[in-house]
Amino acid sequence: MTTIRKSKPQTLYDCFSPTKRTAFLARFGCDPARLEPVGEDCAFRRYFRVYSKTDGTSAILMEAMPQDSPFRTPGHDLGDFVRLAGFLRARAISVPDLYEWDIADGYALLSDFGDVSFKTAAAQGETRRTDLYMLAADALADLHRKTAKDMPDSLPDYHQSHVHHGRVRVIDWYMPQILAKRPDDALRRDYLAVWDTIERSLPPAPAGFLHVDYHFENLMWRADQKGLNRCGILDFQGAMRGPLPYDLANLAEDARMDLPDALRRAILDRYCRDMGQAEKDHFMVWYRVLATQFHCRIAGQFIRLALRDGKPRYLAFMPYVLGHLRRGLQDPVLAPLQTWFAQNGIVFTDRAWSMEDLSMDHVPPDAF
């Protein structure tokens, strides 16, 4: 039986104020009556296409959690989006223009990059999937190169962030579902100590500006543009200062899909094509470590979204995440982690997941 912790509103979208949204649009000449929903995300942001009352041109309204909301998702502040959009545009990165914003109430008006994400473009055959991945790898290398020397001082440190700490979610949320056992603090500490041992065994990772959420659904296919501008980049507000292989892992080991090994290798080779062999080998060791940390976080996060936040649709992606984990743990650099999981009975079996499989019974009250 599914048990859901009732600590939040019926839906977190109840936190938004239609009155404030209408007032924001009216201030900037948009017609609130022509509001077309175009999506939402796991951070409880919603997006609408809106139209000018004067010439009918379109823009995108982002509706984010208000600044004072207790339900804001770490790394998804509208103020960071506004600040980083200016930083990236100044470096000729293809991100939306911002026309207007109201950070306190959680509204921003952006240029419209259209409806076709890279994922949609690949599915609809607008261009070859391989070509899209090569473009995405090129755009990521360009982003890292153009931001290398003058990153904002305010960028959070990846290793001190909620993202890095999130690797514990495989213990807090995934483990209780497969073992019907509540993890205690000692188990968490042991698990994190294994990761610390692995990271300390390696030379420092190549570091720089991290997008942090670089995958096909956050990249927009702009067929009317040329070169790298054909890759429109969204969802950069959680950017950090940290290990560059993390972004490449997000792209090549997307939590929402799987890729043929040959295509994954082509993506990695494309990004690393200007590196010497020793530099590439070092980069790829960290790629494996960071990719597996990412999957440990997401394996728990998708369960957390279903149980705590009422978003069960992410359970459909669990087989991809667990497949990434199984393959990653075969790498010798992760042997200590593979051994630890085996000793504690934590397995990543290929299976379908549904809400009927989940329970809050053994999830710790302070689960991250």
* pTM for this prediction: 0.89
Distance CA 41, CA 33 (A): 23
SS3 content of the chain, % helix, strand, coil (to 5): 50, 10, 40
3-state secondary structure 11-48: CHHHHCCHHHHHHHHHHCCECCCCCEEEEECCCCCEEE
Length of the chain: 368
Contact 243, 205 (CB under 8 A): yes
Using pLDDT thresholds of 50, 70 and 90, give the confidence band for residue 3.
very low
Say what the pLDDT of residue 74 is: 65
> What is residue 241's three-state secondary structure?
strand
Say what the pLDDT of residue 32 is: 75
Helix H or strand E segment including 297:
helix 277-309
pLDDT of 33 higher than 80: no
pLDDT in tens, 136-145: 999 999 999 9
For 305, residues 6+ apart whose C-beta sits below 8 A from its C-beta are: 42, 311, 312, 314
Q: Which has more confidence, 291 or 151? A: 291
Distance CA 129, CA 111 (A): 26
- Which of the 8 DSSP states describes residue 52? B
pLDDT of 117 higher than 70: yes
Say what the pLDDT of residue 86 is: 95
pLDDT of 5 higher than 80: no
pLDDT of 342 higher than 70: yes
CA trace torsion 338, 342, 344, 348 (10° rounding): 80
The residue with tokens 């649009």 is: 25
- Which of the 8 DSSP states describes residue 126? S
Contact 66, 104 (CB under 8 A): yes
**Could you tell me the CATH superfamily of domain 1-112?**
Phosphorylase Kinase; domain 1 (3.30.200.20)
Using pLDDT thresholds of 50, 70 and 90, give the confidence band for residue 38.
confident
Amino acid type, 90: A
pLDDT in tens, 349-358: 999 999 999 9
Contact 22, 35 (CB under 8 A): no
For 86, residues 6+ apart whose C-beta sits below 8 A from its C-beta are: 98
Return the biggest CA–CA distance within the chain: 66
Cα 185 to its chain centre, rounded Å, is: 27
CATH class of 116-368: alpha beta
For 32, residues 6+ apart whose C-beta sits below 8 A from its C-beta are: 21, 22, 25, 26, 50
Amino acid type, 49: R
pLDDT in tens, 156-214: 999 999 999 999 999 999 999 999 999 999 999 999 999 999 999 999 999 999 999 99
Using a pLDDT cut of 90, give the percent of the chain over it.
76
Contact 209, 233 (CB under 8 A): no
- In the chain, where the domains are located: 1-112, 116-368
Cα 196 to its chain centre, rounded Å, is: 23
Q: Which of 25, 79, 76, 21 is closest to 52 using CA atoms?
A: 25
The residue with tokens 């302070």 is: 366
